[in-house]
Amino acid sequence: MASGIFAVLDDIALLMDDVAMTTKLATKKTAGILGDDLAVNAEKATGFLASREIPVLWAITKGSLLNKVIIVPIALLLNAFLPLAIIIILMFGGAFLAYEGVEKIVEYLFHRKTASHDAPAVEEVRNDRDAEKTKVRSAITTDFILSVEIVIIALGSVLTEPLTVQIITVSAVALIATVGVYGIVTLIVRMDDAGYNLIRRSKEKSFLFLIGTLLVKSLPLIIKGLAVVGTVALILVAGGIFVHNVHFLHELFPSIPSIVKEFGIGLVVGIIVVVLVTVIKKIFGKKASA
């Protein structure tokens, strides 16, 4: 009886060793997309009142966890029975990410709003719960597509392993992605609060006072930087999806660095989708007004 228990424990230990190794490998392979995920979601999680930052981040985190709960079993089932469907889903997701990235560029270049005396105050706009819910939904939708990419890459790194190892590894990577990304995002958006606390509790010109001042002054710059990095990351991820899954695009311009090719293809796809969406909106807008 005792020997049987020890044999089971030994099997579990071996399984955990295998999972630890495969999880480490899968995490390395998804590191790039996790960095993009961080940049995109950090940009989407900013721009709220300080009192709403944690509730908003918690709402996005719960949505991200639900995304993983949906994606992981579906990815495992599709990989077993209909692997082509995974590629098709990735392509649609890539088109959506490219659209989001290019739309941000178009919005910045052509539709920036000028200041007006009749415009509502910035704090009132940010406090608008409908706008908040819209931004949360957008963040969760983007997270869903990025999560599909993360799960597929993780699954691709353990295809030769037993099914149990595949399930545990992909689940572990999905959990690490959510906790790690949104944990770092929380630290970023709370930088100013940490800085104000240091300033309030330390003497003027002391080391802690200077650190606090640096944190407070750095946050606006970081947020602006994340807006740029997040937009670039959306286009890069989209381009990467098409380059890695369309043989013609993968072989196109072999002498060009992959990052340049992926960004260029993501940009082209995004422009095409933005034009199509704009045309469709105008057509349906004319029909509705007729």
Q: Where are the domains of the chain?
A: 16-191+219-289
The whole-number average pLDDT for the span 7-29 is 61
Quote helix, strand, coil % in the chain, to nearest 5: 85, 0, 15
CA dihedral of residues 222, 227, 232, 238 (deg, nearest 10): 130
How far is the C-alpha of 237 from the C-alpha of 246, rounded, in Å? 14
Task: Write down the pLDDT at residue 268.
Answer: 95
Return the higher-pLDDT residue of 188 and 1: 188
**pLDDT tens, position by position, 190-228:** 787 888 888 888 888 788 888 888 888 887 787 777 778
Return the higher-pLDDT residue of 41 and 275: 275
3-state class of 202 per DSSP?
coil
The whole-number average pLDDT for the span 50-55 is 73
With bands split at pLDDT 50, 70 and 90, how would you rate the model's confidence at 260? very high
**pLDDT tens, position by position, 68-90:** 899 889 888 888 888 888 788 88
Q: Quick one: what percent of the chain has pLDDT higher than 70?
A: 76
Q: Quick one: what percent of the chain has pLDDT higher than 90?
A: 8
Return the higher-pLDDT residue of 159 and 217: 217
Task: Write down the pLDDT at residue 27.
Answer: 67
**pLDDT tens, position by position, 169-194:** 888 888 888 888 888 888 877 787 88
